[in-house]
Amino acid sequence: QVQLQESGPGLVKPSETLSLTCTVSGYSISSGYYWGWIRQPPGKGLEWIGSIFHSGTTYYYPSLKSRVTMSVDTSKNQFSLKLNSVTAADTAVYYCARQWGSGDYDPWGQGILVTVSS
């Protein structure tokens, strides 16, 4: 079955760039579907960050658009997230997930906590 796994630093300094990678197993990204990133600040709700197709087509949440870049590496079956100029407000668990239909997500990775602190 399809499985996703996030990886990257768990601690990022303010004003620096948060970089995460999602490795997909059990399915070739090149075969289709959009792939997305969603985050959840500790104790709070979910926030959609954006999604990417294997061709590189991207959609970003408007309020994050100026700071977000997503990319895909089909040779490694991975897709990535970069969020620059981070602040404490970007501290969250970051999830990657497959966009199953028109925007619902299934399955999800286990999530990775990223803390922004000096």
Partner 1 sequence: EVVLTQSPATLSLSPGERATLSCGASQSVSTNYLAWYQQKPGLAPRLLISDSSKRATGVPDRFSGSGSGTHFTLTISRLEPEDFAVYFCQQYGNSPITFGQGTRLEI
Binding residues for partner 1, rule: CB under 8 A, are 45-48, 59, 61-62, 95, 97, 100-111
Smallest gap, in angstroms, from Cβ of residue 118 to partner 1? 27
Nearer to partner 1, 39 or 54 (CB): 39
> Burial, 81: exposed, middle or buried (Cβ in 10 Å; 0-12, 13-18, 19+)?
buried
- In sequence order, what are the residues at sequence separation of 6 or more whose Cβ sits closer than 8 angstroms to the Cβ of residue 116? 11, 12, 13, 14, 18, 86, 87, 88, 89, 90, 91
Nearer to partner 1, 16 or 59 (CB): 59
Beta bridge partners of 26: none
Nearer to partner 1, 33 or 74 (CB): 33
For 104, phi then psi, to 5°, come to -80, 155
Smallest gap, in angstroms, from Cβ of residue 114 to partner 1? 15
Smallest gap, in angstroms, from Cβ of residue 14 to partner 1? 26
Smallest gap, in angstroms, from Cβ of residue 111 to partner 1? 5
Tokens for 67, please give them: 């700071």
Nearer to partner 1, 2 or 11 (CB): 2
